[in-house]
Every structure is written in structure tokens, then in C-alpha cells.
């Protein structure tokens, strides 16, 4: 680890006028944990629980899942670790659970799969809860939610798993539960979700894909996939405003949070937590430490004043370079 990075690890992510923004990380494999801690991560904003499922040949057993989850939760305790329930379908497939569809992004994915298979969901939630015993830093996050009905069903299953384990004598603390805002329908229901859960987390990767109707993995339309598109920026701002009106914490865990310019915009919008890959953390922290809140606010006002993405990018890159 270079000296510069090592020094940066122990410095707070704060602007020149002292506004702090917690920087958390996205993880999947066990190896992501040590890198995250080396980089000074203050928590996990997104543990992609499908990753250990994707590298196996069968569904992992409850015992195997407990072990994987414990290895994510323990090193960060008492800092929070946000574990997303299985998000398969779409661009994430399991060899032993094939889903063959013409239009997988709009098909059976995320919460839709696990609510149709409560036995898969319950084993996973039990494993998360059991792995958290004595650590109490678990947060559970629900992917691809489009309706409050899905939230209510998922929360009922989590409560059921929790009650059964407590009846069995386990010493557990109720985990915080959150919803991912990553489909356009969710953007317009922040108020309703906020009444049901403890936090929201924006998935800007899928939100960009679905708002712009651009496949996130199709190279032919890669030029059109742009999180600086005014439609995306407007939605991102609206989500924070509505969440805060309901006094619910809102974080963001898509790739945009790992780009220095994106992170400054999101901070200025008011996001409570930015979660990114560990490799992005130092450059985002440097960018935040390099500006004042007022400059970041100016960044945001500038970004929101354009009507197409390329101008947003160019203007912000110039402003960032000028800021030093």
C-alpha cells in the first residue's frame, strides 16, 4: 500500500468546511472485505449475496451461507453491513437454476424470484440472522422492488424467520430492513416505501438502464447508457428529497457513487451514504476533501442546468479540474 493511500485511509471523508459523508463499500467475495478495510471503509452499503451463489454448482446450504455471511459481518462489526437478498435473473444467472426468457431484464429477477420461492428466501434470511448473532450489525436490503406488496411480503417473511429463531433461543436484534430504488416505479413510491422500511438504497446501475430503456450490458447502445442523463439526475434528486421528507435514510450503491464527479453530485443532493467498490474509495475521498460544500452545490446546480448528458460531463470535468 503506498504511503499516500495509507494516510488517506485514516482521514475523514469530509469537505473543506467539515461536511462529512460516510463512504461505504460494495462487496461480494470474502477477498473484498480485507481490501475494503485497508481503504478505510466505514461500512458495507451493498453485499451482493448472489456472488457466493454464482461460484457454486448447487444452492449453498444454510450452514455454508452462515459461514459466508459471518465472514462479511464479523470484520466490520460494529459498523453496519447491508446484505442484499438474492438478486438473480436479468444479468445475474446461476448455472443450477436456469432462467430462460426473451426479455430477462423485465422478467423474473430479484425479489420476484425469491417471493415465488419463499423456501430459498427464508433459508437465506435465517442464515443472515444466525450469522449476525452477537454482532448486531446486519441490515437486509431487498432488490428490484416495484410495489409495496412485495415489500410487505418480504418483511413478513423476515419477521417470521426472526420470530422463529428467537423462539428457538437465539439472541438476536431485529435487523434494519431497506428497499432498493432501482426501477422507475420505485422512484414514484419513495413515500410509500419510507413508511414501511428503515432505509432506502438507490441502485443507479439498474435505474439508469430502466429509465433510459438502455440495456446495461449491450455494447451497441453503450453510448446511450449514461447516469449523467438529465432524466437520471432529476430522478436521483427527487428520491433524496422525498426520502428526507419522510425522515428516512437514503444511500446509493450504484457505480455513479464511485466516480469523483458523481460522488460530489450525490453528496450535494444530500445522499446520506455513498457506497462504492473499494478501489474507487480513495479517489472519491480525495475529491470530497478537495472541495467545499458550496462548490459541490455549484456542481449540482450546474449539472441540473443542462438538457443532455455530454454537456453535464464536460462542464463538471472542467469544474473539477479548476477546483484543483
Torsion of CA 268, 176, 128, 186, to 10 degrees: -60
- Quick one: 115 or 315, whose CB is closer to ligand PEP? 115
| Closest CA relative to residue 112, chosen from 149, 83, 81 | 149
The residue (of 81 and 145) whose beta carbon lies closer to Mg ion is: 145
- For residue 149, give every residue at least 6 positions away whose Cβ sits within 8 Å of its Cβ, in sequence order, or none: none
Between 211 and 268, CB nearer to ligand PEP? 211
Residues 33/76, Cβ–Cβ less than 8 Å: yes
Residue with cell 467498490: 277
* Residue 13 φ/ψ, nearest 5 degrees: -85, 90
201 and 141 in contact (C-beta within 8 Å)? yes
253 binds, among Mg ion, ligand PEP, none (CB under 5 to 8 A by kind): ligand PEP
Q: Which does 150 bind (CB under 5 to 8 A by kind): ligand PEP, Mg ion, none?
A: none
From the CB of 183, what's the least distance to ligand PEP, in Å? 9
Nearest to 285 by CA among 304, 257, 315, 311: 257
Q: Toward ligand PEP, which CB reaches closer, 26 or 189?
A: 26
CA distances, 214 to each of 108, 219, 224, 256, 303 (Å): 18, 10, 7, 16, 21
Residue 231 Cβ vs ligand PEP, minimum distance, rounded to whole Å? 16
Confirm or reject binding of residue 206 to Mg ion (CB under 5 A).
Answer: yes
Residue 259 binds what, of Mg ion, ligand PEP, none (CB under 5 to 8 Å, by partner type)? none
N residues, the chain: 324
- Looking at the Cβ atoms of 32 and 182, the one nearer to ligand PEP is 182
Distance CA 16, CA 292 (A): 5
Strands 23-27 and 138-142: unpaired
- The option from ligand PEP, Mg ion, none interacting with 39 (CB < 5 to 8 A, set by class) reads none
Among 22, 43, 80, 203, binds Mg ion (CB under 5 A): 203
For residue 248, what is its C-alpha cell?
A: 428516512
Query: What are the beta bridge partners of residue 23?
Result: 274
Q: Which part of the chain contacts Mg ion (CB under 5 A), choosing from 22-30, 122-130, 175-183, 188-196?
A: 175-183
Based on the shown chain and the rule CB under 5 A, indicate whether residue 50 belongs to the binding site for Mg ion.
no
Task: Please choose, out of 99-107, 202-210, 240-248, 298-306, the segment that lies near Mg ion by the rule CB under 5 A.
Answer: 202-210
Q: Which residue is nearest to ligand PEP (CB)?
A: 203
Shortest distance (Å) from residue 223 CB to ligand PEP: 19
Residue 46 binding target from Mg ion, ligand PEP, none, CB below 5 to 8 Å by type: ligand PEP
Binding site for ligand PEP (CB under 6 A): 46, 48, 87, 182, 203-206, 253-254
Q: How far is the CB of 40 from Mg ion (least distance, A)?
A: 25
Is the CA virtual torsion 302, 303, 308, 310 positive or negative?
Answer: positive
Residue labelled with grid coordinates 423485465: 106
Tell me the closest approach of the beta carbon of residue 107 to Mg ion, in angstroms.
Answer: 14
Chain residues in the site for Mg ion (CB under 5 A): 182, 203, 206
Amino acid at each position: 500500500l503506498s504511503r499516500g493511500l495509507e494516510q488517506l485511509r485514516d482521514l475523514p471523508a469530509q469537505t473543506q468546511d467539515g461536511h462529512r459523508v460516510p463512504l461505504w463499500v460494495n462487496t461480494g467475495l470474502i477477498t473484498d472485505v480485507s481490501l475494503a478495510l485497508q481503504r478505510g471503509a466505514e461500512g458495507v452499503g451493498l453485499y451482493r449475496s448472489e456472488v457466493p451463489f454464482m461460484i457454486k454448482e448447487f444452492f449453498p446450504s444454510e450452514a455454508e451461507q452462515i459461514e459466508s455471511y459471518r465472514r462479511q459481518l464479523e470484520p466490520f462489526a460494529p459498523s453496519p453491513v447491508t446484505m442484499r437478498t438474492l438478486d438473480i435473473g436479468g444479468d445475474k444467472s446461476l448455472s443450477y437454476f436456469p432462467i430462460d426468457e426473451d426479455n430477462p431484464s423485465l422478467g423474473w429477477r430479484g425479489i420476484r424470484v425469491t417471493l415465488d420461492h419463499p423456501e430459498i428466501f427464508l433459508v437465506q434470511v435465517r442464515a443472515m440472522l444466525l450469522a449476525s448473532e452477537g454482532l448486531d450489525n446486519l441490515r437486509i436490503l431487498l432488490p428490484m422492488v416495484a410495489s409495496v406488496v412485495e415489500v410487505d411480503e418480504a418483511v413478513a417473511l423476515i419477521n417470521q424467520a426472526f420470530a422463529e429463531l428467537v423462539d428457538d433461543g437465539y439472541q438476536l436484534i431485529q435487523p434494519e430492513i431497506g428497499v432498493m430504488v432501482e426501477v422507475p416505479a420505485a422512484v414514484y413510491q419513495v413515500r410509500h416505501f419510507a413508511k414501511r422500511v428503515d432505509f432506502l438504497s438507490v441502485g443507479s446501475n439498474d435505474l439508469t438502464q430502466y429509465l433510459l430503456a438502455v440495456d446495461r450490458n449491450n455494447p451497441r447502445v453503450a453510448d446511450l447508457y449514461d447516469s449523467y442523463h438529465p432524466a437520471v439526475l432529476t430522478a436521483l434528486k427527487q428520491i433524496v428529497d422525498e426520502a428526507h421528507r419522510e425522515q428516512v435514510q437514503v444511500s446509493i450503491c450504484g457505480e455513479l457513487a464511485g466516480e469523483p464527479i458523481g460522488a460530489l453530485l450525490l453528496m450535494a443532493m444530500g445522499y446520506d451514504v455513498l457506497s462504492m467498490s473499494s478501489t474507487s474509495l480513495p479517489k472519491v475521498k480525495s475529491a470530497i476533501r478537495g472541495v467545499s460544500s458550496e462548490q459541490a452545490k455549484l456542481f449540482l446546480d450546474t449539472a441540473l442546468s443542462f438538457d443532455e448528458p455530454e454537456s453535464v460531463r464536460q462542464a463538471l470535468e472542467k469544474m473539477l479540474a479548476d477546483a484543483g
